[in-house]
């Protein structure tokens, strides 16, 4: 069994929380996955606990800067998932990992104290206004290779809820197929290969439902995902139409295209960095504000469906999330529109409510005044008669009660007794 080396270097590159890189670094530092057993007490004491404690405290990015607290938590969750898939007998959340969990908590508190953990880098969901701006600015259109391909990328990310960098980059031409339903309506169907949470190592590494895209019943052609995709296919070179061809290709510059050119793309994949910033660059060109990235598409899918009342377990079947808690996280943050509504309520609605209450009070006062000024003779006569009758009955009941009370003590001798009567 290797001994724990506190001087181990954990300054690894972990840009997208790449678990393989993380585990490889731990392995190079004599990381052992098998738990050590204390023969005397027969209790599992994982050596991993020591390594995780040191890693949480000392891990840095390749440039020496600190990770966000949520990134450290995500690393822990990824390791937990990896160990669970490999039948590791102990949970990282259990008491045997108390030391590493305390180290993680202390590190997160320290990061919070220096200004980390404010979600400055969290992507925002795209709104309906944002999408309309992308359409009106021509960022989604049939007019040129870039806007056409971005339209395909946009709608695949929105309707298939694909992860903006990894899943979109791995997408192959054969993964999306056009079919017809029983009524003759065309739709697109997505067949997933592998993803972050469904990499083939688990028992149920597949989506319960095959995601599909149906054309909208109305709207401009640019809002029709199927129409855009058909044009995208028509503009692809034949050698890029095999099932294993990359979905997204390198556009031919407009200055090199003739009006009669049918093919708009080179038969080679779009660059990773270019694909990773498609939404960001389109948003800038369309004049949109906020933290909009490729991930905004997937986030928009969850928030839009959630706010429309779609059940979380139904959304999960489209997004492929392994837990419903992940769905709740996407919809937990207030949108700009919701904050505007709250500001409107706080600044205006109270005044409106006060006016309404004042009007209602005035109306009641006026109604009561009018009733007093113009009385109904029949009602007054009946009320007067009832009042006299009720008064006589009350007086008669009082006398009877007095007689009955006196009868209760007739013949009795009472000495030094104080009786208090309370009304």
**Does the pTM of the predicted model rise above 0.85?**
no
Spatial distance between the Cα atoms of 89 and 300, rounded to a whole number of angstroms: 38
Given a contact cutoff of 8 angstroms between Cβ atoms, the answer to whether 140 and 151 are in contact is yes
Check residue 58 and give its pLDDT.
87
Check residue 1 and give its pLDDT.
34
**Residue 396 predicted with pLDDT over 50:** yes
**Residue 415 predicted with pLDDT over 70:** no
Check residue 16 and give its pLDDT.
39
Share of residues in the chain with pLDDT > 70 (%): 67
- Over residues 318-328, mean pLDDT: 82
- Over residues 66-81, mean pLDDT: 88
- Which range has highest mean pLDDT (50-59, 190-199, 202-211, 403-412)? 50-59
Q: Domains of the chain, with CATH numbers?
A: 19-113 (no CATH), 128-335 (1.10.443.10)
Check residue 82 and give its pLDDT.
82
Check residue 371 and give its pLDDT.
41
Q: Which residues contact 68 (CB under 8 A, 6 or more apart)?
A: 111, 116, 117, 121
Q: Which of 251-255, 366-370, 395-399 has the lowest mean pLDDT?
A: 366-370
Between residues 216 and 11, the one the model is more confident about: 216
Given a contact cutoff of 8 angstroms between Cβ atoms, the answer to whether 230 and 221 are in contact is no
Q: Which of 41-45, 257-261, 316-320, 365-369 has the lowest mean pLDDT?
A: 41-45
pLDDT digits (tens, 9 = 90+) for 270-311: 999 999 999 999 999 999 998 899 999 999 999 999 989 999
pLDDT digits (tens, 9 = 90+) for 343-394: 988 887 555 544 444 444 445 444 444 444 444 555 445 544 554 455 555 5
Given a contact cutoff of 8 angstroms between Cβ atoms, the answer to whether 186 and 179 are in contact is yes
Q: Which residues contact 311 (CB under 8 A, 6 or more apart)?
A: none
Residue 422 CA neighbour count, 13 Å, CB half = 0
**Residue 81 predicted with pLDDT over 70:** yes
């Amino acid at each position: 069994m290797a001994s724990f080396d506190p001087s181990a270097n954990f300054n690894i590159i972990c840009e997208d929380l790449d678990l393989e890189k993380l585990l490889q670094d731990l392995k190079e530092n004599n990381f052992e996955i098998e738990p050590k057993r204390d023969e005397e007490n027969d209790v599992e004491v994982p050596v991993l606990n020591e390594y995780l404690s040191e890693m949480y405290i000392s891990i840095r990015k390749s440039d020496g800067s600190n990770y966000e607290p949520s990134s450290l938590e995500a690393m822990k969750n990824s390791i937990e998932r990896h160990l669970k898939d490999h039948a590791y007998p102990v949970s990282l959340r259990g008491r045997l990992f108390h030391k590493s969990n305390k180290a993680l908590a202390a590190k997160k508190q320290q990061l919070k104290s220096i200004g980390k953990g404010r979600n400055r880098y969290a992507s925002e969901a795209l709104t309906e206004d944002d999408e309309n701006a992308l359409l009106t600015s021509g960022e989604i259109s049939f007019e040129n290779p870039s806007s056409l391909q971005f339209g395909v990328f946009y709608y695949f990310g929105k309707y298939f809820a694909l992860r903006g960098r990894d899943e979109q980059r791995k997408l192959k031409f054969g993964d999306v197929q056009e079919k017809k339903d029983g009524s003759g309506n065309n739709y697109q169907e997505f067949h997933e290969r592998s993803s972050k949470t469904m990499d083939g190592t688990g028992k149920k590494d597949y989506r319960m439902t095959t995601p599909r895209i149906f054309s909208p019943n109305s709207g401009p052609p640019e809002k029709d995902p199927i129409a855009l995709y058909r044009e995208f296919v028509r503009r692809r070179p034949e050698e890029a139409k095999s099932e294993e061809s990359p979905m997204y290709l390198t556009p031919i510059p407009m200055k090199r295209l003739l009006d009669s050119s049918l093919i708009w793309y080179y038969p080679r994949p779009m660059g990773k960095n270019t694909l990773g910033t498609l939404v960001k660059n389109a948003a800038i060109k369309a004049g949109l504000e906020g933290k909009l990235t490729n991930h905004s598409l997937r986030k928009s899918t969850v928030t839009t469906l959630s706010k429309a009342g779609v059940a979380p377990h139904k959304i999960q079947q489209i997004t492929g999330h392994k837990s419903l808690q992940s769905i709740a996280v996407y919809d937990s943050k207030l949108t700009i529109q919701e904050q505007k509504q709250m500001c409107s309520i706080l600044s205006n609605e109270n005044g409106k409510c006060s006016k309404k209450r004042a009007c209602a009070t005035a109306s009641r006062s006026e109604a009561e005044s009018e009733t007093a000024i113009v009385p109904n003779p029949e009602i007054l006569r009946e009320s007067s008669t009832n009042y006299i009758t009720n008064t006589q009955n009350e007086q008669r009941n009082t006398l009877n009660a007095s007689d009955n009370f006196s009868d209760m003590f007739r013949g009795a001798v009472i000495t030094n007794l104080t009786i208090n009567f309370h009304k």
